[in-house]
Amino acid sequence: MNNEDEFYDAVTGLDSDESYEGVSEVSFKDAVVFDGSSRKNNQSAPRENGVKKHRTSLPAAMFSRSTVSIWSILKKCIGLELSKITMPIAFNEPLSFLQRITEYMEHTYLINRACSLPHSIERMQAVAAFAVSAVASQWDRTGKPFNPLLGETYELTREDQGFRLVSEQVSHHPPVSAFHAESLVGDFVFHGSIYPKLKFWGKSVEAEPKGTITLELLKHNEAYTWTNPYCCVHNIILGKLWIEQYGTVEIVNHSTGDKCVLNFKPCGMFGKELHKVEGYIQDKSKKKHCVIYGKWTECMWSVDAQTYEAHKKSERRGDNKKQKNEEQEGGENDDADDMPEVQETVSVVPGSTLLWRIDSRPPHSAEMYNFTNFAMSLNEMEPGMETSVSPTDCRFRPDIRAMENGKMDEASKEKERLEDKQRTARKERAKSEEEWTTRWFQMGTNPYTSSQGWLYSGGYFNRSYQDMPDIY
Residue 443 is assigned to a structural domain of this protein? yes
Q: Write out pLDDT tens, residues 65-84.
A: 666 666 565 555 444 444 44
On the question of pLDDT at 369 being above 80, the answer is yes
From the number of C-beta atoms within 10 Å of its C-beta (0-12, 13-18, 19+), residue 43 rates as: exposed
Task: Select from 67, 35, 40 the least CA-distant residue to 52.
Answer: 40
pLDDT band at 47 (very low <50, low <70, confident <90, very high): low
Number of neighbouring beta carbons within 10 Å of residue 422: 18
Q: Write out pLDDT tens, residues 391-450.
A: 999 999 999 999 999 999 999 999 999 999 999 999 999 999 999 999 999 999 998 999
Residue 467 is assigned to a structural domain of this protein? no
Range of 226's domain? 7-245+373-462
Residue-level pLDDT at 242: 74
Residues contacting 303, CB < 8 A, separation 6+: 290, 291, 293, 349, 351, 352, 353
Residue 324 is assigned to a structural domain of this protein? no
On the question of pLDDT at 214 being above 50, the answer is yes
Residue-level pLDDT at 91: 79
As a whole number, the mean pLDDT across the chain is 82
DSSP element (H, E) containing 409:
helix 408-431
d(CA 344, CA 127) in angstroms, rounded, equals 24
pTM attached to this predicted model: 0.82
Q: Which amino acid is at 189?
A: V
Q: Write out pLDDT tens, residues 308-338.
A: 988 888 877 766 555 555 444 444 444 556 6
Residue-level pLDDT at 231: 81
Q: Which residue has the higher pLDDT, 173 or 154?
A: 154
For residue 140, the SS3 value is coil
The tally of domains found in the chain comes to: 1
Q: Write out pLDDT tens, residues 290-312.
A: 999 999 999 999 999 989 988 88
Residue 179 is assigned to a structural domain of this protein? yes
Q: What is the mean pLDDT of residues 28-54?
A: 48
CB 99 within 8 A of CB 381: no
For residue 231, the SS3 value is strand
Helical packing angle, 109-116 and 120-133, nearest 10°: 170
CB 258 within 8 A of CB 121: yes
Q: What is the mean pLDDT of residues 131-135?
A: 94
Residue 333 is assigned to a structural domain of this protein? no
pLDDT band at 339 (very low <50, low <70, confident <90, very high): low
Residue 233 is assigned to a structural domain of this protein? yes
Residue 408 is assigned to a structural domain of this protein? yes
Residue 226, beta-bridge partner list: 213
Q: What is the mean pLDDT of residues 37-61?
A: 66
Residue-level pLDDT at 38: 37
Q: Dihedrals φ, ψ of 189, to 5°?
A: -130, 145
On the question of pLDDT at 40 being above 60, the answer is no
71-74 contacts at long range (C-beta below 8 A, 24 or more positions apart) = 71/237, 71/238, 74/237
Q: What is the mean pLDDT of residues 228-256?
A: 83
pLDDT band at 85 (very low <50, low <70, confident <90, very high): low
pLDDT band at 48 (very low <50, low <70, confident <90, very high): low
Task: Spell 66-95 as b/e; 16+ CB within 10 A means b.
Answer: eeeebeebbeeeeeeeeeebbbbbbbbbbb
Residue 314 is assigned to a structural domain of this protein? no
Task: Select from 157, 154, 170, 175 the least CA-distant residue to 98.
Answer: 154
Residue-level pLDDT at 37: 36
What percentage of residues in the chain have a pLDDT greater than 70? Answer: 76
